[in-house]
Structure 1
Amino acid sequence: MIHTQKIRELHLPHATSESRLPFISAASGLVQVNNLLYVVADDEHHLGVFAAGHVGPGELVRLFEGTLPDKYKKRKVQKPDLETLLLLPTFAGFPHGALLAMGSGSKANRDAGVLLGLDTLGNVNLAPRLFDLSLLYDALRGEVDGLNIEGAAIADGKLLLLQPGNKGAVNALIACELEPFIADLAANIAPRLRVPPVVRAVALGDIDGVPLCFTDAATLPDGNLLFTAVAENTKNSFDDGACNGSAIGIVDANGNLKAIERLDQPYKVEGVAATMHADEINVLLVTDADDVSKAAWLLSAVLNKNE
């Protein structure tokens, strides 16, 4: 098993609404840029920003206008369900790269994307730019059942999207052409596919009979993806279920599984960032508490890439 260590809870300087508590609870994606940790949550209109190596409250960057309902069921229906946070390379209009938060596409109101430009230090320095991802997602809905994009990465000139399996389905790695996708973002138009995506099924096994399903990924220097997966006892992409545990694995850009190992604690891990140091992969993870009264955790783990 992979040993995990708690680093900190994801506390904020203030709550995002009067009845919420001052922390991120449902962390769903993680990107590290220099010493900044960006955390997206699937039930918020904000992005969390935390300083690596510090345990003080983070900051909030607003992504959408307005407020979400405080009642759980109403909030679940109306939330943008941002499950993916992706670091984009330098492109026209964004000389230092950008962050892209993406809705899951599991419902029609979850087809939004938000683009945030970065400065030389990795700080957000441009107002959020909203994108309609429905053209992209409608094309993907013709390729996979129950679309629910949980993560994304860039490798081998492709935008790789992670589709979890849940019960009765299979995980998939969806490869889309990266260059036209970024060109659409640069032109401030809704991204769309010019050629059909390549969809590859990826079997990840299970924990106590509950299938492991993709939740996020980070690209390693060799082009492979370090991914996280959760065994959540649910039959669909909308309802939550009991978490039997999580795993970390490595898959190549063609969907070939290289390794997978379970975590030592039954966290529901939804976001991952990774850096290489010699033969070690230093991994940061964020969790979804599945309980608005509890804060999400930032965890760490160390993997040996030769094992």
Structure 2
Amino acid sequence: MIHLTARRTLDLEAPFVSGRPSHVTSASSLVRVGNWLYTVAEEPLHLAAFPLDGDEPGHGVVLFANHQPDEPVSLKSSTPDLEVLCQVGPLSGAPHGALLLLPSGRSEGRHRGAVMALGADGTLAGEARSVDCSALYTQLSRELGPLHIAGAAQAGGLLRLLQRGSGEPGTDALVDLDAERVLRGLEAGALGPDVVRMTRRWELGQAGGMRLTFTAASPLPDGRMVFTATAGNPGTSPAAGGSVVGVLAPDGSPLFLDAPEGPVLLTGVDARVEQGRVHVLLISASEVGASPASLQAATLDAPA
């Protein structure tokens, strides 16, 4: 079992939208750059930035200027969603790399991503630039069926996407993209099917009698990837099936899989090799609807 240590709650300096809580309740992905942690806050949609150390509140960053967070539920399927966050680069206009935000692809209205340049100190340098993922996602949906891209990590010459097979039938899969072609596509503002190297369907097994499906990813320096997966639907109680943390080899084969102590819903991970051990920071969703999500720390019993 993986022992989790609570680091902080994801409190904000101020509500991102008037009338909303001054904290992040639901978040996807986690990226550490310098002394900053970044995650995608889902309701309302924005990028949230937190200091790596201490418990000072974070702040929100606008992603799409025309996004209306309080629009009717009937319109949600046509509005942007960005569930995937990873670090890429460098590329033109972002010599120190960038944050890439990818949509889930769960509907045709959810094919727009974004890229944000990073400064040398890990802070954001400029506004978000839109990335059209429709051509890429159309091709992937032909191969995999209904899409739900849930994680991404750049390692070596690949940008590996994790397809979450929600519902029945659902297909979990690894999607390997050519990292250099992705960077050129980001510079042009669009990603097409030419960036795809390989797709592979994947079975993670079960936890609590429910099928495990991917939720987030983070790269390790040697090309391996740490991932999180959750049993059942992310909207259900974490006690329904629970979450796991795993490691994939550069070729995609499984190397490690273990569950945290107690029922938690893990939706973001950042992994580092420090002092010969694999250390992870994890985002844990609140078990109480409007309460803040939290940041947890753990050390994996996996080869560094």
- From the superposition, tell whether residues 267 and 68 of structure 1 become closer, same or farther in structure 2 (CA, over 3 Å): farther
Alignment of 1:160 with 2:155, yes or no, is: no
**For residues 98 and 196 of structure 2, what CA distance do their matches in structure 1 show?**
25
| Identical counterparts, % of pairs | 34
Stretch moving more, 193-202 or 159-168: 193-202
Give the equivalent residue in structure 2 for 1:253. Answer: 250
**For residues 252 and 72 of structure 2, what CA distance do their matches in structure 1 show?**
36
- From the superposition, tell whether residues 117 and 266 of structure 1 become closer, same or farther in structure 2 (CA, over 3 Å): same
Contact preservation (8 Å) 1:228, 1:272: yes
**For residues 120 and 207 of structure 1, what CA distance do their matches in structure 2 show?**
41
Give, in angstroms, the shift of residue 254 of structure 1.
Answer: 2.6
- From the superposition, tell whether residues 280 and 72 of structure 1 become closer, same or farther in structure 2 (CA, over 3 Å): farther
**For residues 148 and 59 of structure 2, what CA distance do their matches in structure 1 show?**
28
Structure 1, unmatched stretches of 5+, are: 235-239
Alignment of 1:285 with 2:272, yes or no, is: no
Give, in angstroms, the shift of residue 189 of structure 1.
Answer: 2.8
Stretch moving more, 72-81 or 42-51: 72-81
Give the equivalent residue in structure 2 for 1:191. Answer: 191
Give the equivalent residue in structure 2 for 1:144. Answer: 144
Give, in angstroms, the shift of residue 299 of structure 1.
Answer: 0.8
**For residues 8 and 150 of structure 1, what CA distance do their matches in structure 2 show?**
24
Alignment of 1:296 with 2:293, yes or no, is: yes
Alignment of 1:172 with 2:182, yes or no, is: no
**For residues 171 and 67 of structure 2, what CA distance do their matches in structure 1 show?**
35
> What does residue range 201-240 of structure 1 map to in structure 2 within 5 Å?
201-233=201-233, 240=235
- From the superposition, tell whether residues 91 and 24 of structure 1 become closer, same or farther in structure 2 (CA, over 3 Å): same
Give, in angstroms, the shift of residue 152 of structure 1.
Answer: 0.4
Give, in angstroms, the shift of residue 304 of structure 1.
Answer: 3.2
Contact preservation (8 Å) 1:68, 1:75: no
Give the equivalent residue in structure 2 for 1:306. Answer: 303
Give, in angstroms, the shift of residue 76 of structure 1.
Answer: 4.7
Aligned AA (2:23): F
**For residues 75 and 243 of structure 2, what CA distance do their matches in structure 1 show?**
26
Give, in angstroms, the shift of residue 45 of structure 1.
Answer: 3.1
The Cα RMSD (Å) is 2.1
> What does residue range 58-207 of structure 1 map to in structure 2 within 5 Å?
58-70=58-70, 73-74=73-74, 76-77=76-77, 79-166=79-166, 167-186=168-187, 188-194=188-194, 196-207=196-207
Give, in angstroms, the shift of residue 275 of structure 1.
Answer: 1.0
Alignment of 1:38 with 2:1, yes or no, is: no
Stretch moving more, 282-291 or 70-79: 70-79
**For residues 89 and 43 of structure 2, what CA distance do their matches in structure 1 show?**
27
Give the equivalent residue in structure 1 for 2:10. Answer: 10
SS of 2:83 mapped into structure 1: strand
Give the equivalent residue in structure 1 for 2:237. Answer: 242
Aligned AA (1:114): A
Contact preservation (8 Å) 1:3, 1:264: yes
Give, in angstroms, the shift of residue 257 of structure 1.
Answer: 1.1
- From the superposition, tell whether residues 172 and 78 of structure 1 become closer, same or farther in structure 2 (CA, over 3 Å): same
Question: In the comparison of the two structures, how many residue pairs are matched?
Answer: 301
- Output one character per residue of 1:52-76: Cα deviation in whole Å (capped at 9) or x when no partner: 1121210111111145344783575
Give, in angstroms, the shift of residue 290 of structure 1.
Answer: 7.3
Give, in angstroms, the shift of residue 305 of structure 1.
Answer: 2.7
So what's the TM-score if we normalise by structure 2?
A: 0.92
SS of 1:47 mapped into structure 2: strand
**For residues 130 and 291 of structure 1, what CA distance do their matches in structure 2 show?**
34
